């Protein structure tokens, strides 16, 4: 099979979901020729996905595509259970690979990946948010910070009456990775409390960043709240709530309410950081992530993109918080 466009970077994608389409759109924007696609083995949707997205070559076998050598970069955005096997095959090419998180569902399984791990990007796209980059800069420019991460993940009871924590591994790892990324890494994790009953579950943990900042994690499962990362330093606060939007506060403003003498205290907003206008067209963070993959095809690694080591660290944190 040949791609239609010559002398450009050939991209293959495995996956036919909406996330896969978001990857395709971003990849084309940064200059890839998206010319191969596969779904699950003998997928009934791959032909229609290829047609709708103008992809010239539809493969019935994702493993065959992963090992074909007919691409310069590949995005693996298939079902979670198939990510690891496809990644192992794709890594043998020594070409650039972007694999969706969490890659595997048990941290010990990361040990199976050998070889060109420096050619692998893991799909923690939130690292590329404009607000997240500002949060990282905020921490770097201050001598000490107090950092709080709130994780109100939705969990449910399974058919056996036990809590199902799978979303903590497949979704909350985004937040755990952001905490590590913004702070430069964590150590000395201590789980202060874990409580479970039929109504509420959760965990509270503390850790130190690699430079010594105090970090707390409140895993308030099922709470009616947004994910949030809050960074305090002196009279300044940088807040990501939700994680897509950043606000910088400095100092307190005292507001008189009516004639009753009651006063309220509100932080003074200094600046806001939101995704650029193209986030209405492209999934937030996907353009930056696609650019990092494109650069990797030229041998240029990204200081922002997540590695397999980063993904393992996020999953280890998830496992600790759910008591595994």
Nearest to 293 by CA among 32, 1, 79, 5: 32
Res 196: pLDDT = 59
Regarding predicted confidence, which is higher, 58 or 158?
58
Superfamily of domain covering 128-281+312-321: Dihydrodipicolinate Reductase; domain 2 (3.30.360.10)
Q: According to the model, what pLDDT value does residue 3 have?
A: 56
Share of the chain above pLDDT 70, in %: 94
Domain 10-124+283-306: give its CATH code: 3.40.50.720
pLDDT tens track for 170-188: 999 999 999 999 999 999 9
Please state, in angstroms and rounded to a whole number, the distance separating the CA atoms of residues 228 and 149.
6
Q: Give the rounded distance of the alpha carbon of 67 from its chain centre.
A: 26
Q: What is the 3-state secondary structure (H, E, C) of the chain?
A: CCCCCCCCCEEEEECCCHHHHHHHHHHHHHCCEEEEEECCCCCCCHHHHHHHCCCCEEECCHHHHHCCCCCCEEEECCCHHHHHHHHHHHHCCCCEEEECCCCCCCHHHHHHCCCCHHHEEECCHHHHCHHHHHHHHHHHCCCCCEEEEECCCCCEECCCCCEECHHHHHCCHHHHHHHHHHHCCEEEEEEEEEEECCCCEEEEEEEEECCCCEEEEEECCCCCCCCEEEEEECCEEEEECCCCCEEEEEEEEEEEECCCCEEEEEEEEEEEECCCHHHHCCCCCHHHHHHHHHHHHCCCCCCCCECHHHHHHHHHHHHHHCCC
The structure's pTM equals: 0.91
pLDDT digits (tens, 9 = 90+) for 106-153: 999 999 998 789 999 999 999 999 999 999 999 999 999 999 999 999
CA gyration radius, the chain: 22
The residue-averaged pLDDT of 59-88 equals: 96
Q: Is the pLDDT of residue 197 over 70?
A: no
Per-residue model confidence as pLDDT tens digits over 251-262: 998 888 777 778
Q: Which of 265, 280, 178 has its CA nearest to residue 229?
A: 178
In the predicted model, is pLDDT for residue 280 greater than 90?
no
Other beta carbons less than 10 A from residue 204's beta carbon? 16
Query: CA–CA separation, 97 vs 238, rounded Å?
Result: 33
What phi and psi values does residue 36 have, to the nearest 5 degrees? -135, 140
**What is the average pLDDT across 203-214?**
94
H, E, C per residue of 95-121 = CEEEECCCCCCCHHHHHHCCCCHHHEE
Torsion, CA 18, CA 23, CA 25, CA 31, rounded to 10: -170
Q: How far is CA 40 from the centre of its chain?
A: 23
- Domain locations along the chain: 10-124+283-306, 128-281+312-321
d(CA 112, CA 85): 10
């Amino acid at each position: 099979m040949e791609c239609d466009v010559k002398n450009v970077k050939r991209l293959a994608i495995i996956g036919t979901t909406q996330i896969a389409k978001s990857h395709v759109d971003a990849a084309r924007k940064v200059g890839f020729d998206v010319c191969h696609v596969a779904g699950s083995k003998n997928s009934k949707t791959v032909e229609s996905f290829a047609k709708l997205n103008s992809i010239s070559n539809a493969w019935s076998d994702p493993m065959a595509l992963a090992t074909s050598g007919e691409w310069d970069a590949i995005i693996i955005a298939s079902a979670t259970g198939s990510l690891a096997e496809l990644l192992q095959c794709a890594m043998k090419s020594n070409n650039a690979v972007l694999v969706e998180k969490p890659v595997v569902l048990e941290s010990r399984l990361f040990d199976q990946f050998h070889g060109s791990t420096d050619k692998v990007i893991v799909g923690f796209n939130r690292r590329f948010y404009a607000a997240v980059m500002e949060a990282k800069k905020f921490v770097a420019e201050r001598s000490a910070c107090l950092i709080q991460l709130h994780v109100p993940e939705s969990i449910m009871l399974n058919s056996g009456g036990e809590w199902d924590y799978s979303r903590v591994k497949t979704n909350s790892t985004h937040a755990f990775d952001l905490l590590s990324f913004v702070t430069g890494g964590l150590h000395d994790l201590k789980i202060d409390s874990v409580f479970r009953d039929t109504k509420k579950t959760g965990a509270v943990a503390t850790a130190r960043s690699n430079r010594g900042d105090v970090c707390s994690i409140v895993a308030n499962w099922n709470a009616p709240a947004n994910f949030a990362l809050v960074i305090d330093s002196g009279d300044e606060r940088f807040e990501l709530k939700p994680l897509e939007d950043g606000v910088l506060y400095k100092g307190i403003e005292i507001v008189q309410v009516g004639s009753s003498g009651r006063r309220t205290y509100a932080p003074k907003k200094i600046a806001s950081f939101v995704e650029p206008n193209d986030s209405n067209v492209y999934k937030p963070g996907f353009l930056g992530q696609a650019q990092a993959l494109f650069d990797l095809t030229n041998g240029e690694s990204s200081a922002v993109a997540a590695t397999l080591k980063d993904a393992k660290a996020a999953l280890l944190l998830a496992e600790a918080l759910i008591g595994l």
